Amino acid sequence: MRIDVVSLFPEFVAQCAAFGVVGRAVERGLLAIHGTNPRDHAEGNYRRVDDRPFGGGPGMVMLIDPLRRAIASARQAGGGPARVVYLSPQGRRLDQAGVRRLAAEPRLILLCGRYEGIDERFVRAEVDEELSIGDYVLSGGELPAAVLIDAIARLQEGVLNDAESAVQDSFEDGLLDCPHYTRPVEHALGAVPNVLLSGDHARIARWRRMQALGRTAERRPDLLEGRTLSKADAALLAQYRADASGPIPPDPEATQARP
Ligand code: 9D3
């Protein structure tokens, strides 16, 4: 897969692709990442890439023409058509289903905005889809592009080894992960749950599934809405609730009761 990043800071996104799982994907030739800077396609002594918004107001808007030339250049360098994704706060929220869909594309052009955003005429003419990574304010699309590239790289065939295998991941089955423990068995902070030391693999698998279901129900009930649990899963969730195991961390959003 080839990804072209169109950004005023393309080396920033490329750096993120140099480490860890993504770096390995690039080294193995499973993923190629290229940067294109609209400033290299801007005109005049000042190489302007932005201008003041019509209608007034604060901030600047990215100009159409340097972006059009940058996208055309990236498309040509990649040798053919590519899906153009604009990382933008107005986009649909990225989720694992969206990552899977984009990971199946042979070519992507990721467009990162800066300032207040991009002239809307360019968005309508050249962008296939707008994506946000969540409801918080960032300074530009570069970190969101790096997030998307990381998630996509993990799904490329041959990137993950067995231990890292994506199929077991949280969200691949729509549930949060179970808790994990390692040595020592006894620690001042507590003991490891006995079941994990039992050697009974079926019992361990059932316990882990119960924890995944219970923690999802407690922490992310939205992930279970509109999903019907199998009889076995429903029984495990009921057992988790009956066990009333462990306190859940306090919700920092919750209002404290006044004494
Ligand atoms: C403070 C500026 N805001 C005016 C009301 C609008 C605004 C413009 C540009 C807010 C953020 C940005 C830059 N953000 C992105 O380019 C971005 C983003 C994000 O901020 N959050 C989550 N996902 C994304 S994808 C791209």
116 close to 53: Cβ distance less than 8 angstroms: yes
Per-residue pLDDT, averaged over 66-75, amounts to: 98
Identify which of 8, 86, 120, 137 to mutate to test ligand 1's pocket (most ligand atoms within 8 A of the CB): 137
Q: Per-residue pLDDT for 131 more than 60?
A: yes
pLDDT digits (tens, 9 = 90+) for 183-232: 999 999 999 999 999 999 999 999 999 999 999 999 999 999 999 999 99
Q: Is the CB of 89 under 6 A from ligand 1?
A: yes
Domains of the chain: 2-153 (3.40.1280.10), 168-242 (1.10.1270.20)
Sheet with 107-112, strands from edge to edge, namely 32-36, 2-6, 107-112, 83-93, 129-132
Q: Which residues are catalytic, by number?
A: 89, 116, 154, 169
Q: How far does residue 227's CA lie from ligand 1's centre (Å)?
A: 32
Q: Is the CB of 88 under 6 A from ligand 1?
A: yes
Q: What is the pLDDT of residue 133?
A: 98
Rounded-to-integer distance, Cα 100 and Cα 123, Å: 24
DSSP 20-64: HHHHHHHHTTS-EEEEE-GGGG--TTTT--EEPPTT--SS-EE-H
Confidence tier at 251 by pLDDT (50, 70, 90): confident
Q: How far does residue 5's CA lie from ligand 1's centre (Å)?
A: 17
Q: Is the CB of 141 under 6 A from ligand 1?
A: yes
Q: What is the pLDDT of residue 173?
A: 87
Per-residue pLDDT, averaged over 49-70, amounts to: 98
Q: Is the CB of 53 under 6 A from ligand 1?
A: no
Rounded-to-integer distance, Cα 104 and Cα 77, Å: 20
